[in-house]
């Protein structure tokens, strides 16, 4: 990016896309295995992520909900959370290596990121409820890790609505250019992604490749809605129209 010509740099700085991971760019199968193992290793009690709806939530919120549903009263201190993140990423790495947990790019995700990175009209970054280390494992496993800026994660804040501004700030710092919130587009698969975009005065494209079908997502009136990201030309046309 720093080697680009002045004209390219100006174009790159115009707009920023903030991609969610799960249900938007990639799908994880058997992600409950490393998550539940990390809970047991860290807190010494069995918790099951399959008892909650994790979509759109940050990892700290998910852990709290699991304990709440199981009527387990645990006060999670900052050092517990650090240990949980360490255990989670180790468990994820192990299960992905073994093949017991798989992470695959959703149809069109890699092609879209490749086209966007090549065109240079948009900056590309991440906003996800995953903690950063786990997000990196997932993106690498899905073959998507080379396209995206640092972004913001569940370990930065338990509140998803805090994350888009932080991802924008980090992107601005890494490129030394400012971008208007109104020129940012959050791309996600849940009403929580939309709410986070709205709270940050950003636009939002929702895709129906997660828990919610596109008809349900349209009810929430995002700026745009697509069934999936499979048609790169169609996605680019939508993004250029926002």
Query: Which positions touch Mg ion (CB under 5 A)?
Result: 20, 22-23, 189
The closest residue (CB) to Mg ion is 23
Interatomic CA distance for residues 65 and 158, integer angstroms: 12
**At closest approach, how far in Å is the CB of 187 from Mg ion?**
10
Task: State which residue, 20 or 37, has the beta carbon closest to Mg ion.
Answer: 20
Interatomic CA distance for residues 209 and 188, integer angstroms: 9
**At closest approach, how far in Å is the CB of 106 from Mg ion?**
11
Interatomic CA distance for residues 18 and 123, integer angstroms: 9
**At closest approach, how far in Å is the CB of 55 from Mg ion?**
6
**At closest approach, how far in Å is the CB of 111 from Mg ion?**
19
Decide: 55 and 23 in contact? Cβ < 8 Å. yes
Task: State which residue, 13 or 113, has the beta carbon closest to Mg ion.
Answer: 113
Burial of 10 (0-12, 13-18, 19+ CB in 10 A): exposed
Task: State which residue, 22 or 37, has the beta carbon closest to Mg ion.
Answer: 22
Task: State which residue, 34 or 188, has the beta carbon closest to Mg ion.
Answer: 188
Angle in degrees, CA 159, 164, 168, rounded to 5:
145
């Amino acid at each position: 990016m720093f080697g680009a010509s002045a004209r390219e740099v100006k174009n790159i700085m115009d707009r920023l896309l903030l991609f969610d991971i799960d249900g938007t760019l990639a799908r994880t199968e058997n992600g409950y295995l490393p998550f539940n193992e990390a809970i047991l290793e860290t807190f010494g009690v069995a918790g099951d992520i399959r008892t909650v709806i994790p979509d759109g939530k940050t990892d700290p919120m998910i852990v709290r909900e699991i304990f709440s549903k199981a009527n387990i009263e645990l006060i999670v201190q900052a050092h517990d959370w650090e240990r949980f993140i360490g255990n989670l990423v180790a468990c994820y790495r192990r299960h992905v290596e073994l093949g017991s947990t798989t992470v695959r790019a959703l149809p069109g995700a890699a092609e879209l990121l490749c086209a966007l990175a090549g065109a240079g009209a948009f900056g590309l970054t991440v906003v996800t409820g995953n903690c950063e280390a786990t997000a990196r494992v997932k993106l690498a496993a899905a073959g998507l890790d080379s396209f995206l800026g640092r972004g913001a994660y569940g370990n930065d804040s338990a509140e998803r609505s805090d994350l888009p501004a932080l991802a924008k700030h980090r992107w601005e710092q890494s490129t030394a250019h400012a971008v208007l919130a109104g020129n940012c587009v959050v791309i996600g698969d849940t009403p929580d992604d939309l709410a986070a975009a709205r709270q940050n005065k950003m636009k939002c494209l929702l895709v129906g490749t997660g828990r919610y079908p596109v008809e349900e997502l349209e009810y929430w009136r995002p700026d745009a809605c697509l069934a999936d990201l499979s048609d790169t030309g169609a996605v680019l046309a939508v993004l250029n129209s926002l």
